[in-house]
Amino acid sequence: MYYVGYGNTSNGNPNIGLATSPDGINWTKYAGNPVLAPSESYDGYMWEARVIKDNDTYKMWYQAANNASSPMSTNYATSSDGIRWTKYSGNPVLTPTAGSWDASYAGVRYVIKANNVYNMYYETNTAVGNDGLATSSDGINWTKYSGNPILTSSPGQWDYANDIPNVILKNGVYYIYYSTNSGPPSRVGLATSTDGMNFTKDTSSPIINLVGASSTWDTGSRGELVSLMQPDDSGKLYGYYRGISNGLWSIGLLSNLTLENITTNTSTTLSVNSFLDYTSGSAGYYFYQVADPTHNSGWIRSNTWTDTGLTPDTSYDYYVKYRNSDGIELAYATTDYPIYTMSSASPLTVGAISQNSITLSWAGDSSDYYLENTTNNTNPGWLTSSPYIFSELSCGTNYSFRIKGRNAGGAETDWSTINISSAPCPLQGSSPVIGCTDSKAANYNPQAAIGSSLLCKYNIVPPLSVPAPTVITPVFSRGGQIISEIQKVTRDLRLGTVSNDVKTLQSFLIAESKGYYAKTLAKNGVTNNFGKLTKLALIEWQKAMKITPASGVFGPKTRAKVKLLGL
């Protein structure tokens, strides 16, 4: 922070000092102050300074005049470290214009660099106070805006005498915070612009009164907002103002009263993040809902309030006001974005269950829902309606499903989980459902455990006909050629394998004839395709031979058992 100080300097006139802070609240004055002092004929009397860092160079524009009664101009200095300054040899860089609205005063207040153009907002000290704009491509040669002044006083209103423009550029919008001295009390107003030239005063102004409590340092009738800063990345805006008491000027801090919130389905807890005292005298906060001001806290000595009786998944906006210990309202804030109450998602309910599908339903007041099969790690994404069918499941298998909801603001609920099993697989000796197992066919039967495309009906005749399988009736028994042939198979055979080894396995299972599926396999005939029926027949044989697990895979354990046959 660069500030003006005077009263005990060698020349008796104002000088410019430096103070630093790690948090924007606790400041330490530089031990080598002042960093800029009068030394030239044009700056015998210094006043406000504005500094920006442009690449690796600190650039300062400061108000100065030959003496306190001379017209005030704007001057320029540069520094590599912000401490040791070199004044521009061509000073001053902006001067009053004789016969114009700024004939006696053209003092810098803020400089913003946008799109490689320097915008200087400067003030005058006319009786009513007006503010102007000048632009420059190098920060030295300035052109005054032809439409000046850009901000004027309103005769007979609270801002009849405005000055000290403080400018912030945020998201393409210029915000001017200007002080007035038409009081007491001194107050701060707000005006906005999208081009930095044409400003509209905010109808809610004034937004801050700059008069403190009767026992504090800023008791005087005059105060001025001197600087705005964002010292960190939190988005908080710090306003620094000077107040007077017993002839001495000091600098104080205002906060922008950042609102924070915690929500449930039917309530919102608001908390004000500020540095203002809310426990002394009449000090306190007043929270209220914008849409329905009957939802309010009244004046409370707390920076936290909970609004109840709200509707789930609904947006609300809030205001909060602050007053000091003397009961004077100094500042207010509003939520920067709608606060959405939380939504809910009911537990999942189970609908139809088959051997390869499960239907799930839910209810709630969320905007949408996220459903997930955590067993198979599959999901349909965010859904807006119920129910949903999970298909392509395995029979007799336990699955875990979960659901969560989110409100229109993107806040998500907790997960709700359910475990459910698909319909059991056909038992040994029972009659399995036989039908079309092609999901593309018109008569597709998801309940079918055994089937082929020969059982399917298509709206369009398939281009290829399926030849009837070659039926091989095994004539060998244990100890014969079938045992010899199956013992020669050394590879793993499983669902989906296509090989002549599969024919050998099917012939072996038919010869062994351990149950219903082996008999059905004999009726259908031997092929080189390891399908569902082959797997079920192999499981029958594995169970009969006490092989665990009976997995339906012709693997090492099963081959070892086969090696013992015929001995």
Distance CA 282, CA 250 (A): 24
Q: Tell me the mean pLDDT in the region 235-264.
A: 60
Residue 324 placed within a domain:
yes
Domain shared by 313 and 373, yes or no: no
Same domain, 434 and 448: yes
For the beta sheet containing 28-29, the strands, ordered from the edge strand earlier in sequence to the opposite edge, are 2-5, 15-20, 28-29
Domain boundary among 340, 364, 392: 340
Tell me the two tokens of residue 290.
């914008």
11 C-beta neighbours (distance < 10 Å), count: 13
DSSP 105: B
Q: How far apart are the first and last CA of the chain?
A: 99
336 in a structural domain: yes
In this structure, is residue 527 part of a structural domain?
A: yes
Is 462 in the same domain as 504?
no
Residue found by looking up tokens 């423009």 in the block: 165
Pairwise CA distance, residues 567 & 565, whole Å: 6
Distance CA 185, CA 21 (A): 29
Give the CA angle between residues 47, 52, 57 to the nearest 5°: 115
Confidence of residue 240 (pLDDT cuts 50, 70, 90): low
Mean pLDDT (the chain, rounded): 78
DSSP 491-531: S-B-TT-BSHHHHHHHHHHHHH--SHHHHHHHHH---SB--
Measure the CA–CA gap between 222 and 214, rounded to whole angstroms: 13
Task: Assess whether the previous peptide bond of 387 is cis (omega < 30° from 0).
Answer: yes
79 pLDDT above the threshold of 90: yes
The answer to whether residue 288 is domain-embedded is: yes
The pLDDT tens digits of the residues spanning 288-340 come to 888 888 889 999 988 888 888 888 877 788 878 777 776 766 555 565 456 77
Please give the biggest Cα pair distance in the chain. 126
Q: Locate 479 and state its tokens.
A: 């100890």
Residue 320 bridge partners (DSSP): 287, 333
Q: Do 461 and 478 belong to one domain?
A: no
Q: 384 exposed, middle or buried (CB, 10 Å; 0-12, 13-18, 19+)?
A: exposed
% of the chain with per-residue pLDDT over 70: 70
Asked if residue 55 belongs to a domain, the reply is no
Question: What type of residue is 482?
Answer: I
pLDDT digits (tens, 9 = 90+) for 542-562: 888 888 888 889 988 898 888
Provide the 8-state DSSP code for 519.
Answer: H
**Based on the structure, what is the number of domains in the chain?**
4
205 φ, ψ (degrees, to nearest 5)? -65, 150
CA 120 – CA 125 distance, rounded (Å): 17
Comparing CA positions, the residue from 155, 250, 252, 170 lying closest to residue 208 is: 252
Q: Are residues 449 and 480 in the same domain?
A: no
Same domain, 463 and 522: no
Q: Where a domain ends, among 315, 340, 365?
A: 340
Residues 356 and 398 in one domain: yes
DSSP-assigned beta bridge partners for residue 333 = 320
pLDDT of 162: 62
Looking up residue 557, the CATH number of its domain turns out to be 1.10.101
Dihedral over Cα of 407, 410, 416, 421: its sign:
positive
Length of the chain equals: 567
* Residue 253 and residue 218 in contact, taking contact as beta carbons nearer than 8 Å: no
> In whole angstroms, what is the distance from residue 355 CA to residue 352 CA?
10
What backbone phi and psi angles, to 5 degrees, belong to 532?
A: -65, -40
pTM of the shown model: 0.47
Q: Which two tokens stand for residue 294?
A: 């009957």
Among 363, 344, 335, which residue's Cα sits nearest to residue 265? Answer: 344
Q: What is the CATH number of the domain that holds 268?
A: 2.60.40.10
212 within a domain of the structure (yes/no): no
Measured distance CA(489)–CA(557) in Å, rounded: 13
Residue 119 phi, psi (nearest 5): -110, 120
Domain holding 336, by residue range, is 258-340
**What 3-state DSSP class applies to 517?**
helix
In one-letter notation, the amino acid at residue 157 is Q
Max mean pLDDT among 50-64, 143-157, 510-524 falls in 50-64
Sign of CA dihedral 506, 507, 508, 511: positive
3-state helix, strand, coil in the chain (%, to 5): 10, 35, 55
Domain boundary (467, 497, 523) is at 467
Residues 439 and 479 in one domain: no
Q: Does residue 474 have a pLDDT over 50?
A: no
| Per-residue pLDDT reduced to its tens digit, 183-197 | 555 667 778 889 989
Residue 8 lies in a domain: no
* pLDDT given for residue 221 in this prediction: 41
* Residue 129 to residue 154: CA distance in whole angstroms: 10
Closest CA to 225 of 196, 186, 194: 186
Tell me: do 497 and 547 sit in the same domain: yes
Same domain for 322 and 399?
no
CB atoms within 10 A of CB 488: 9
Pairwise pLDDT comparison (263 vs 204), residue with the higher score: 263
H or E segment and range at residue 350: strand 349-353
At 545, the amino acid letter reads M
Residue 386 has pLDDT above 60, yes or no: yes
Averaged over 145-166, what is the pLDDT?
74
Give me the pLDDT at residue 215, please. Answer: 41
Block residue for tokens 């010869």: 511
Q: Which residues contact 341 (CB under 8 A, 6 or more apart)?
A: 263, 264, 265, 266, 267, 268, 310, 311, 312, 313, 314, 316, 407
CA gap 368, 385 in Å, rounded = 8
**Does 323 lie in the same domain as 279?**
yes
SS3 annotation, 338-390:
CEECCCCECCCEEEEECCCCEEEECCECCCEEEEEECCCCECCCEECCCCEEE
Q: Does the structure show a pLDDT above 80 at 77? A: yes
Residues 559 and 483 in one domain: yes
Q: Taking the mean position of all CA atoms in its chain, how far away is CA 194?
A: 26
**Mean pLDDT of the 130-158 span:** 87
Structural contact between residues 528 and 500, judged by C-beta atoms closer than 8 angstroms: yes
For residue 376, being part of any structural domain is answered with yes
Beta-carbon contacts of residue 340 (< 8 Å; ≥ 6 apart): 263, 313, 314, 315, 316, 407, 408, 409, 411
> What's the angle, vertex CA 366, arms to CA 365 and CA 367, rounded to 5?
125
Once rounded to an integer, what is the mean pLDDT over residues 257-274? 70
Residue 464 pLDDT exceeds 70 = no
The pLDDT of 332-353, averaged and rounded, is: 72
